[in-house]
Amino acid sequence: MGRVTRRELSTASPILVVGVLGVLAGGLLSAATASAPTRHIAWAVAYLVLVVGVAQLCLGAGQALLAERPPRWSVTIAELVLFNLGNAGVLIGTVLEMPWLVDVGGIALIVALVYFMLGARGSAGLKLLRYCYWFVVVVLLVSIPTGLVLARVLN
């Protein structure tokens, strides 16, 4: 793996910052509700840590390292906004039991993932990182429709 350039990091930095905040928010929510957890809170904690946090960190860092050229700032912002509006829709829709909002959030997440997939094209090297990146994308692409169906069935 080559050296990470300042440009690669600066392009991914908004996505990475929000990913870290997602992990922290999940931890804080868990700590704040530890004495009286509910099914929705436990799910929200896991979602914040795994999807808003870890998955977003993987997508942002992976794209920055794998793309032949770092994405334009406007693309990074579009990915950031779509991914996090989608996450907000899924989180709020699930907690408030509003399946239509979960659906809208899921669609925004899928669109964001298409941007992330297109943005990670390019570099011929870094095979292991590329496989890990695509694994995260595939897991999310399988999980989103599964979650949308479960949101409808369970509510």
State pLDDT tens for residues 64-90: 888 888 788 899 999 999 999 999 999
Q: At 92, is the secondary structure helix, strand, or coil?
A: helix
pTM of the entire predicted model? 0.90
Question: How is the chain split among helix, strand and coil, in percent rounded to 5?
Answer: 80, 0, 15
Helix axes 73-95, 39-47, angle to 10 degrees: 170
Give yes or no for a contact between 63 and 120, defined as CB atoms under 8 angstroms apart: yes
pLDDT of res. 1? 46
Distances (CA, A) of 57 to 17, 45, 50, 141: 8, 16, 10, 16
For the four alpha carbons of 95, 100, 101 and 106, in that order, the dihedral sign comes to positive
pLDDT of res. 2? 53
Whole-number Å distance between alpha carbons of 61 and 105: 23
Radius of gyration of the CA atoms of the chain, in A: 16
pLDDT of res. 8? 65
What count of Cα atoms within 13 Å lies in the side-chain half-sphere of residue 90?
A: 28
pLDDT of res. 151? 77
User: Residue ranges of the chain with pLDDT lower than 70?
Assistant: 1-8, 123-125, 155
The residues that bridge with 122 in the sheet, in sequence order, are: 67
| HEC readout, 13-76 | HHHHHHHHHHHHHHHHHHHHCCCCCCHHHHHHHHHHHHHHHHHHHHHHHHHHHHECCCCCHHHH
Ramachandran region, residue 97 (left: φ > 0; alpha: ψ -120 to 50; beta: rest): left
